[in-house]
Structure 1
Amino acid sequence: MIALSRYICLNMLSPKKSILLFSAVMGLSIVFTLQSCKKKSRSDMGKALFATTNNKVFKDITPEGFSAVFQKKLIDQKARLTNPKIIVAYYEQHDYDPVLIMEHLDKQDLKVLPKYLQKSNEHGLDPKMFQTEKLKAMLAKLYDKNGIKTIDEAYQDMAELELTMANSLINYSNALQFGVMNPRRIYANYYTQTKRPDSISMSHVFEVKSFKTFLDSIQPKDPQYLALQKALVGTTAAPGMSAEETQRAILVNLERLRWKNKPSESKYVLVNIPDYQLNFMDNGKSILNMKVCVGEGRNKDHSHNLVEYDDSYQIDRPFSRETPQLNSMIYVAEVNPVWNIPQSIASKEIIVEAAKDPYYLSNKNIVVYKGGQEVEDPETIKWATLSENEKASYSFKQKPGDDNSLGKIKFLFKNSTNVYLHDTPAKQAFAKPMRAVSHGCVRLEKPLDFAHALFGDSAKYKTIEKCIVEDNPEPTSLSLNNKVPVYITYFTCWSDDSGTLQFRKDIYGLDIVLYAHLQKFLSA
């Protein structure tokens, strides 16, 4: 009768209004149906818990009773949660239900979680940071049919278990997928875009249908990561290092591999600062490898190591010449470049040399400017007697030529630190094992080969070849039709193609800084 009456009323209206009203009625029916299903599902909470645990106390559990206890628990323990806003907001929007307990109860999936958390030491992480033992004890009590004696105890234990699981699961998920530390917060010279967990990624843990499937999916699968994990299990001393130093080097580099900042492009340039090497990567293979010189560092003689760290290393104090970690896009090659000499180099080096030798500037093809005007006779200036303010009034440029400190070509990419890749007339440095010798830019061993890798057999590359050998060189800029990503990074430990673990000296002390921050998260 009700359905018939509804049908008649609808047919008395215009067709358009009938359709709108019918849609509205059906929409309300769906909402009522969903609400009824939800209420039915929530009302089965005690029944489901009893069926799984055989503890009669759970028969009297109600969603309303749990909700009141859980709201208070959230308020009382908010300060100990790592991401309280995410957790509180989720439960507010879901009627303060024990979502994790109820979703995974029938599947016995709850017992899977502490097993995975216990294995976090395989990642170099301390299981204590995920409250692993606490979770194991609470779950054991939950599944013991005589473990919980009263309904009040049931509510309290369920609230504590739900909250601990949410906090631990988010922390574990974040650690494995994004790393424990945010590199941009601990390093002063760090400009690499690094994705960090957000509300969407963290809230996702509440929606997973199987803990095992989810936890398997977030395990890092990069071959480099797996190789370092394997090495961590049976750590032995690397050549020239103690076993302790070796283990700590593996730990900090595992953390670096967890950071979400790795190249996603098929073609890119990779510079590893401690290795003094550049690789031009194409579809996972290096199509060009060369030595590089990088910026001078605070720990170039390796006088400090991981064993000697202390709390003071938590503040990163980079040397002014250190090459920054960054990612950008190479967009242009400048052949026969003019070097606009930075003020710091001019004051500390160029003027010092000019004071010793009045013809130093002309011999080095350096032009002097004051107030924007070229100084005609710079050798007449008494550089040694100038005050710091007077020195700052001069600027210097080095013209193209064989003596130009940038060599015959440089490659530009946007960055806030004004560094770039470039040629150099100082070739002897490439024969040395320690090549942290520049002012911050990256010097290339084979700049012409690098240009060829960028431009291919194009007309622009032919122009580069021609311009480089000119007797009276003129600055020439050639833009890349397709920009190429460049990543300047810092790894002191990795597995080579043969599976052998490679270690490099921590020339900037960045391992020490990272290890100091990771101390409370790392397993012994």
Structure 2
Amino acid sequence: MNGNLKRRAGASIRTLLAAGVLMGSAQLVSAQDGFSFQLTAYKQAVAERVGEDDDVASFYRARGFEPIWTSASDEDRQRRAALFDALSMAGDHGLPAKRYDADALLARMASATNGRDRGLLEVELTDLFLSFAHDLQSGILDPGKIDDGIKRKAPRRDPAELLARLTTEDPVAVMRGLAPTTAEYTRLMRAKLQLEHRIAHGGWGQVVPAGSLRPGDSGNAVVALRNRLTAMGYLKSSLSGTYDSAMQMAVQSFQEDHGIEPDGVAGPTTMAQINTGPEERLKSIIVAMERERWLNLPEGRGKRHVLVNLVDYHAQIIDDDKLTFETRSVIGHQDRDRRTPEFSDVMERMVINPSWYVPRSIIVNEYLPLLRSNPGAVGHLQVVDSRGQVVGRGRSFAGYSARTFPFSMRQPPGPRNALGSVKFLFPNKYNIYLHDTPSQHLFSQTVRTFSHGCIRLDDPHDFAYALLAPQENDPEGYFQSILRTGQETNVPLKTQIPVHLIYSTAFTQAKGQMNYRPDVYGRDTLIWQALANAGVALRTGRS
């Protein structure tokens, strides 16, 4: 029997058992003889167990400690069945299934013989539901503890609100609504299940025994490449042993899905990606699902929002869940102190003809050593005192250290300005923003990790026009009229726009294959290690 079918069959049996297994003890409690004793023991057990959790304690006190799981009522049976059915799908969501030990809990439910047992089970079921709900809604990890570049908090929901929903709504709908409802999460989960099935039936076959191949080549390595591309879904089955036009097109499609220049040549970079095993790709998908849960914000991501996938090197504008604008981007260098952090904030304004106020770290680490030996160094920058006055270069800076240097540095607006002609501000304590750049040649690179942390845009003017369109009849004309003045000008956005800086090495397309990108900062490797330590396992065995 297929592994998924076996799991489903076992889950269905557990769900049926869960719905009715407490009937005997519930009837015992309802019996006239000993009713008061059993009821008192039940309430006392509940009160003892929930005492340390104010939210749960308040919920039960407000309902006089009446159960929501363990009575013989139809409502409680439905809630039990819905919970166990949801738990049976924990592995499908990339959650640590053993954390929610349904079989052990069923055994304890079957052995409950008195009011105290029922009270303890009532709270255990509530704790299990809340734990599972938090894990599925907002992730099993604390993002900020994984890597200091992940500036996120898991968007936890109010436990009392979750419990209240169980008593007022269809429990099946409540359980189904716990997972993120984004199309991306749904497609990631589907891709996960498909890849697990593929791995269980042999994966993608033999790796290609060649460092590179190109159109016109033939031989055993080309046959291996053909077979692997076919197993991945990029090439129709054939008996060709030549790197022909069909294989070239398949390689180009693969390259596009992996962020590689689509030249149709299976060079070393392409071959390394082709030979990456499906188990590694499965890890990336599971990590991406966890990251989607971190972004499962109660308020949503915004009807209109800016989305920057750092490792895809693109910035997008999303309107009503549809991509309406996209441009290439450059992100922070791999050096730890230059990496772009992940966080969400709100874009408030753009600055046309901006000045560049040099970050303190760059001043003391890069420019101060030059100024010590030559006061006229980096002459395109102004040295500015605490009153905002420009300091003359006729003085010596040799006596200053990184700690004692009292000046800031500024580059005025102009064609050589490091920020180009416009920057986009979503004020944050990390001093990260989006901006133009005079270094346009960098956008031709495949891996674009060149900045000190801020995000450079390839088409900043078009990006500005798109942002201004809702508030200006002629956004391009408005922008250009300010640009021509050469004066630094703040332009507020009448409707502020959420900005989400994300890091997804595995992401989907509405139609097409999974996309994968290199883990340039090593963050996803750390997340997978943390998930594995928490009990998440790859389901890769044959059944």
Same fold (TM over 0.5): yes
Structure 1 residue 138, shift from structure 2 partner: 3.6
Gap change, CA 1:228 and 1:463, over 3 Å in 2: closer
Give the distance between the partners of 1:51 and 1:70, measured in 2 at CA: 14
Q: Pick the aligned partner of 1:94 from 63, 78, 91.
A: 63
Q: Evaluate the alpha carbon distance shift between residue 333 and residue 207 of structure 1 in structure 2; reply closer, same or farther with a 3 A threshold.
A: same
Q: Measure, in 1, the Cα distance between the counterparts of 2:101 and 2:21.
A: 26
1:373-406, Cα deviation, whole Å (9 max, x unpaired): 422235x6365x643344x223211112222111
Residues 276-355 of structure 1 mapped to structure 2, 5 A cutoff: 276-298=313-335, 319-354=336-371
Structure 1 residue 296: Cα displacement:
2.1
Question: What does residue 308 of structure 2 align with?
Answer: 271
Whether contact under 8 Å (1:326, 1:487) holds in the other structure is yes
Q: Tell me how far 1:350 sits from its aligned partner.
A: 2.0
Matches within 5 A, 1:446-457: 446-456=459-469
Shift of 1:422: 0.7
Instruction: Answer whether contact 1:422 1:447 (CA < 8 A) is retained.
Output: yes
Q: 2:393 aligns with which of 361, 372, 377?
A: 377
What is the CA–CA distance in structure 2 between the aligned matches of 1:461 and 1:51, rounded to whole Å? 68
Q: Identify which of 155, 168, 171 aligns with 2:131.
A: 171
Alpha-carbon distance in 1 for matches of 2:27, 2:369: 88
Query: Cα–Cα, structure 1 residues 425 and 251, in superposed 2: closer, same or farther, change >3 Å?
Result: same
Equivalent position amino acid for 1:366 in 2: L
After superposition, the Cα gap between the structure-2 partners of 1:476 and 1:430, relative to the gap in structure 1 and judged at 3 Å, is same
Instruction: From 30, 34, 38, give the equivalent of 1:66.
Output: 38
**Structure 1 counterpart of 2:133, one-letter code:** S
The structure 1 residue matched to 2:425, chosen from 393, 412, 416, is 412
1:255, distance to aligned residue in structure 2 (A): 1.4
Alpha-carbon distance in structure 1 between the residues aligned to 2:133 and 2:319: 31
Distance change in 2, residues 1:476/1:210 (3 Å): closer
CA contact (8 A) 2:56 2:159 kept: no
- Other-structure match for 2:114: 154
Residue 88 of structure 1: how far off its partner (Å): 3.4
The verdict on how the C-alpha distance between 1:214 and 1:486 changes in structure 2, with shifts beyond 3 A counting, is closer
Q: How does 1:349-498 map to 2 (within 5 A)?
A: 349-354=366-371, 359-362=376-379, 365-370=380-385, 372=387, 373-378=389-394, 381=396, 383=398, 386-390=400-404, 392-456=405-469, 458=473, 461-468=476-483, 473-498=486-511
Inter-partner Cα distance in structure 2 for 1:355 and 1:366? 15
Q: 1:445 Cα deviation (Å)?
A: 0.5
Q: Deviations over 1:233-281 (max 9, x none)?
A: 2335774533332222111211121232384432221111111110112
2:124 partner letter: T
Kindly state the Cα deviation for residue 287 of structure 1 after the two structures are TM-superposed: 1.9
> 1:346: how far off?
0.9
- Number of equivalences: 436
Match of 1:137 in 2: 107
2:98 match:
128
Contact 1:86 1:203 in 2 (8 A): no
> 1:168-188 CA distances to partner (integer Å, 9 max, x unpaired)?
122222222232234356554
| Distance in 2 between residues matched to 1:486 and 1:57, nearest whole Å | 57
Structure 1 counterpart of 2:287, from 225, 236, 252: 252
Residue 113 (structure 1) aligned with residue 130 (structure 2): no
115 and 284 in structure 1: CA distance in 2 versus 1, 3 angstrom threshold: closer
Amino acid at match of 2:280: E
The answer (yes or no) to whether the contact 1:100–1:206 under 8 Å persists in 2 is: no
How does the TM-score come out when normalised to structure 1?
Answer: 0.73
User: Superposed, which structure 2 residues align to 1:23-62 within 5 Å?
Assistant: 52-53=23-24, 57=28, 59=31
For 1:335 and 1:246, the matched residues in 2 are separated by 42
TM normalised by structure 2 equals: 0.71
Letter of the 1:288 counterpart: F
Measured in 2, the distance between the counterparts of 1:361 and 1:106 equals 74
Displacement after TM superposition at 1:210 (Å): 4.8
Superposed CA offset, 1:3-54 (max 9, x none): xxxxxxxxxxxxxxxxxxxxxxxxxxxxxxxxxxxxxxxxxxxxxx999549
Q: How far has the Cα of 1:352 moved from its partner?
A: 3.5
SS class of match (1:99): coil
Cα distance in 1 for residues equivalent to 2:479 and 2:179 = 46
Q: Amino acid of the residue matched to residue 393 of structure 2?
A: D
SS at match of 1:374: coil
* Structure 1 residue 206 displacement after superposition: 5.0
Distance 1:464 1:240, change over 3 A: farther
Range that drifts further, 57-66 or 487-496: 57-66
Q: Is the Cα contact below 8 Å between 1:67 and 1:97 reproduced in 2? A: no
Distance, in Å, in 1 between the alignment partners of 2:356 and 2:507 is: 36
Give distance in 1, aligned partners of 2:186 and 2:377: 55
**Residues 63 and 117 from structure 1, CA distance in 2 versus in 1: closer, same or farther, beyond 3 angstroms?**
farther
Q: Considering only aligned residues, what root-mean-square deviation do their CA atoms show, in Å?
A: 3.3
CA distance in 1, matches of 2:393, 2:286: 58
Q: Which residue of 2 aligns with 1:502?
A: 515
> Is contact 2:166-2:174 (8 Å) kept?
no
Quote the offset at 1:474 in angstroms. Answer: 2.8
* Structure 1 match to 2:264: none
Question: Structure 2 vs 1, CA of residues 460 and 72 (structure 1 numbering), >3 Å: closer, same or farther?
Answer: same
Q: 1: distance between equivalents of 2:392 and 2:286?
A: 58
Matches of 2:169 and 2:73, distance apart in 1: 7
Which has more radius of gyration? 1
Confirm or deny: 8 A CA contact 2:348 2:496 kept in the other structure. Answer: yes
Q: Equivalents in 1 of 2:367, 2:22: separation in Å?
A: 83
Using the TM superposition, give the Cα deviation of residue 75 of structure 1 relative to its aligned residue in structure 2, in angstroms. Answer: 6.9
Counting aligned pairs with the same residue, the percent is 23
Distance 2:464 2:152 in 1: 24
The change in CA–CA distance for 1:476 and 1:85 in structure 2 (over 3 A counts) is: closer
Deviations 1:80-105 (A, max 9, x none): xxx83333333344343433222645
- CA deviation after TM superposition for structure 1 residue 293, in Å: 0.9
Q: Contact (CA 8 Å) 1:295, 1:321: kept in 2 or not?
A: yes
Alpha-carbon distance between aligned partners in 1 of 2:432 and 2:187, rounded to the nearest angstrom: 33
Q: 1:293 is paired with a residue of what secondary structure?
A: strand
Question: 1:207 maps to what in 2?
Answer: 167
**CA–CA separation in structure 1 for the residues paired with 2:385 and 2:87:** 65
Structure 2 SS opposite 1:361:
coil
